[in-house]
């Protein structure tokens, strides 16, 4: 019997087992808890319901990305007179680096959230990111024949 390997999309977080494999859910929970403030660990409901944890992580990271972008936009006005030469450029570089890291983490949270909901990843050409719902999973439905090409 041949078993197909799970498709792991680009951007899948290191340390999280592939969806459907032994330990997937626990490694996903551990990773999600590492990307949110540590106080989230105090709420057992988030460990018991990893989809809820993924949702909170998504909102948290969206706010962090928004904050990094706002900080970058306002850094010259807020810090320009207070930093030594080269200091502002270094702060802007830090905002850029952290912004890219936060965006990548937010994208990885989306992937993990899809997998926790039972969606499967389908190989795509040119790196397109799409998921397919597993039969019988919430939100799954038959294809709409009127939308066929």
Report the predicted TM-score, pTM, of the whole model to 2 decimal places. 0.77
pLDDT for position 146 = 41
CA–CA gap between residue 72 and residue 113 (Å, rounded)? 29
127-145 in b/e burial notation, b at 16+ Cβ within 10 A? eeeebeeeeeeeeeeeeee
Q: Where are the domains of the chain?
A: 24-121
Q: Average pLDDT over the chain, rounded to whole?
A: 85
Give pLDDT tens digits for 4-46: 556 789 999 999 999 999 999 999 999 999 999 999 999 999 9
Please say whether the beta carbons of 106 and 96 come within 8 A: no
Res 137 pLDDT > 60: no
Rounded to 10 degrees, what is the CA torsion of 29, 33, 36, 40? 110
Res 69 pLDDT > 60: yes
The phi, psi pair for 93, rounded to 5°, reads -65, -40
Between residues 20 and 106, the one the model is more confident about: 106
pLDDT for position 23 = 95
Residue bearing tokens 């996903």: 28
């Amino acid at each position: 019997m041949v078993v197909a390997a799970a498709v792991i999309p680009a951007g899948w977080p290191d340390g999280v087992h592939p969806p459907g494999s032994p330990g997937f859910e626990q490694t996903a929970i551990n990773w999600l808890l590492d990307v949110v403030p540590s106080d989230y660990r105090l709420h057992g409901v988030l460990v018991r319901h990893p989809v809820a944890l993924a949702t909170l992580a998504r909102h948290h990271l969206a706010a962090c990305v928004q904050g990094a972008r706002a900080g970058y936009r306002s850094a010259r006005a807020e810090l320009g007179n207070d930093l030594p030469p080269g200091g502002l450029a270094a702060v802007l570089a830090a905002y850029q680096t952290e912004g890219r890291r936060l965006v990548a983490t937010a994208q990885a949270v989306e992937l993990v959230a899809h997998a926790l909901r039972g969606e499967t990843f389908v190989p795509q050409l040119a790196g397109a990111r799409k998921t397919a719902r597993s039969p019988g999973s919430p939100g799954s439905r038959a294809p709409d024949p009127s939308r066929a090409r």
